[in-house]
């Protein structure tokens, strides 16, 4: 049986590179040599206090090259550069109601996964391997997934051209929210940032106004930037373990505005519903990606990158080989080193 190197979680925020079995593509599947994989903020949150070991590699921001296909897949796809939807289309059953309507992230009968992108190879449904033009770099290709998350949020929020968008949080998803909103026609984009390097990057992504993530500067800045009315659409990208950004969204979104929650909250959050009720806020949850108005969010994200309507490559501040994945994880945790997007890159 063929083997491969993969990084396995050991508990207590530690990863170890080990040799495990390499997956073999079955009917409708493709084996992809991983070229680039991003360290996601959700990985950091999940592993923050998790002590249990994992037996399969994680990692869902994956780009690579198809090296083998299973029965029923066009052999001409071998050699394709791809970004992989490993959570939805890559595992979908294809027959349930959610799959038939393009909402594969909600598939009720997903295939059992064989591991993610913190490995030399990954196997998924071939239809979940979205082709990437070869002029697009591996750095950009591995950013398709977080950009697709933000594209989905903007689309779920029904942002109209010319509207003012407030992005809460300037981490990875906050940065791609700025890029997506700007490219998709926002009139003004405001973002809150905790760290100076995040604020600087948000400007590069297209933010018009960058504000502190708390205090009087934030309150006054929102008033000045929106004429005292508040944002038309607010994209909450932080999540976490407090209600801070939820309360900010309720405070800084205009009456009858839309609030889109992209951040993952890992503890129960209590909300006083009277204010959003009186303000007629629409509160919309946005999880991952899917098909809206006939187009997959992955396809939209790829087009934005390939057509150079967004330039998100500068988000990649650090790159490591798979053997140094522990350094990659530690770097992603440590914002004092200026990390925004940390990626694992492999040449063979």
Measured between alpha carbons, how far is 69 from 11 in angstroms, rounded to an integer? 34
Measured between alpha carbons, how far is 300 from 298 in angstroms, rounded to an integer? 5
Asked whether residue 294 is assigned to any structural domain, the reply reads: no
Sign of CA dihedral 201, 203, 204, 206: positive
Asked whether residue 304 is assigned to any structural domain, the reply reads: no
Q: What's the mean pLDDT in 98-123?
A: 96
| CATH code, 180 | 3.40.50.720
Same domain, 212 and 135: no
pLDDT beyond 80 at 348: no
Virtual torsion, Cα 220, 222, 226, 232, nearest 10 deg: -150
Same domain, 29 and 106: yes
Measured between alpha carbons, how far is 65 from 129 in angstroms, rounded to an integer? 9
Res 46: pLDDT = 82
Measured between alpha carbons, how far is 173 from 159 in angstroms, rounded to an integer? 17
Q: Work out how many domains the chain is built from and give that number.
A: 2
Number of Cβ within 10 Å of residue 53's Cβ equals 12
Model confidence band, residue 1 (pLDDT cutoffs 50, 70, 90): confident
Query: What are the C-alpha distances in Å from 288 to residues 136, 233, 316?
Result: 22, 18, 21
Same domain, 179 and 243: yes
Model confidence band, residue 92 (pLDDT cutoffs 50, 70, 90): very high
Asked whether residue 291 is assigned to any structural domain, the reply reads: no
Sign of CA dihedral 26, 27, 32, 37: negative
Res 34: pLDDT = 98
Same domain, 35 and 90: yes
User: What is the residue-averaged pLDDT of the chain?
Assistant: 96
- 255 near 280, Cβ under 8 Å? yes
Res 47: pLDDT = 84
Asked whether residue 159 is assigned to any structural domain, the reply reads: yes
Same domain, 168 and 128: no
Same domain, 87 and 199: no
Measured between alpha carbons, how far is 296 from 135 in angstroms, rounded to an integer? 21
Same domain, 121 and 154: no
Domain boundary among 285, 320, 335: 285
Q: Write the pLDDT tens digit of every residue in 24-79.
A: 999 999 999 999 999 998 888 788 788 899 999 999 999 999 999 999 999 999 99
pLDDT beyond 90 at 277: yes
Number of Cβ within 10 Å of residue 101's Cβ equals 11
Asked whether residue 171 is assigned to any structural domain, the reply reads: yes
Same domain, 55 and 107: yes
Same domain, 160 and 201: yes
Asked whether residue 290 is assigned to any structural domain, the reply reads: no
Q: What's the mean pLDDT in 252-260?
A: 98
Q: What's the mean pLDDT in 147-165?
A: 98
Q: Write the pLDDT tens digit of every residue in 16-39.
A: 999 999 999 999 999 999 999 999
| CATH code, 339 | 3.90.180.10
Number of Cβ within 10 Å of residue 73's Cβ equals 20
Same domain, 8 and 137: yes
- pTM score, two decimals? 0.96
Same domain, 222 and 108: no
Measured between alpha carbons, how far is 118 from 78 in angstroms, rounded to an integer? 21
Range of the domain at 254: 150-285
Same domain, 36 and 100: yes
Q: CA nearest 181: which of 210, 141, 139, 153?
A: 153
pLDDT beyond 90 at 109: yes
Asked whether residue 300 is assigned to any structural domain, the reply reads: no
Name the token pair of 305: 């990158």
User: What does 268-291 look like in DSSP terms, one character per residue?
Assistant: -----THHHHHHT-EEEE--S--E
Q: Write the pLDDT tens digit of every residue in 320-333.
A: 999 999 999 999 99
Res 44: pLDDT = 83
Measured between alpha carbons, how far is 89 from 102 in angstroms, rounded to an integer? 9
Measured between alpha carbons, how far is 9 from 216 in angstroms, rounded to an integer? 41
- DSSP tally for the chain: helices H, then strands E: 11, 17
Alpha helix positions (H), the chain: 41-47, 97-100, 138-141, 144-156, 172-183, 196-205, 216-226, 244-252, 274-279, 297-306, 325-333
Measured between alpha carbons, how far is 130 from 347 in angstroms, rounded to an integer? 20
Measured between alpha carbons, how far is 42 from 240 in angstroms, rounded to an integer? 9
Asked whether residue 303 is assigned to any structural domain, the reply reads: no
């Amino acid at each position: 049986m063929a083997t491969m190197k993969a990084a396995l979680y050991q508990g207590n925020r530690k990863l170890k590179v080990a040799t495990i079995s390499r997956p073999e593509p079955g009917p409708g599947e493709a084996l992809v040599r991983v070229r680039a994989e991003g360290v996601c903020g959700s990985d950091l949150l999940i592993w923050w206090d998790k002590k249990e070991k994992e037996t399969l590699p994680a990692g869902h921001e994956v780009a690579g090259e198809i090296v083998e296909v299973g029965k029923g897949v066009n052999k001409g796809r071998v050699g394709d550069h791809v970004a992989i939807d490993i959570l939805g289309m890559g595992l979908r059953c294809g027959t349930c109601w959610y799959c038939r309507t393009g909402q594969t992230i909600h598939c009720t009968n997903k295939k059992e996964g064989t591991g993610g992108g913190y490995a030399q190879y990954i196997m998924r449904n071939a239809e979940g391997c979205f082709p990437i033009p070869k002029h697009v770099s591996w750095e950009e290709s591995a950013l398709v997934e977080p950009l697709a998350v933000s594209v989905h949020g903007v689309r779920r929020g029904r942002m109209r051209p010319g509207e003012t968008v407030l992005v809460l949080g300037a981490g990875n998803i906050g940065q791609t929210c700025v890029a997506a909103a700007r490219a998709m026609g926002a009139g003004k984009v405001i973002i809150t940032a905790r760290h100076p390097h995040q604020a600087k990057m948000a400007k590069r992504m297209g933010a018009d106004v960058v504000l502190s993530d708390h205090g009087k500067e934030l309150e006054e800045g929102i008033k000045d930037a929106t004429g005292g009315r508040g944002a038309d659409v607010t994209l909450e990208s932080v999540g976490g373990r407090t209600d801070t950004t939820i309360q900010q969204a309720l405070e800084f979104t205009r009456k009858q505005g839309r609030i889109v929650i992209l951040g993952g909250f890992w503890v129960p959050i209590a909300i006083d519903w009277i204010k959003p009720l009186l303000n007629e806020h629409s509160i919309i949850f946005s999880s991952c990606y899917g098909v809206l108005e006939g187009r997959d969010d992955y396809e939209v994200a790829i087009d934005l990158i390939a057509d150079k309507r967004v330039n998100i490559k500068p988000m990649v501040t650090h790159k490591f080989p798979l053997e140094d994945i522990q350094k990659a994880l530690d770097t992603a945790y440590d914002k004092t080193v200026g990390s925004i997007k940390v990626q694992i890159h492999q040449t063979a």
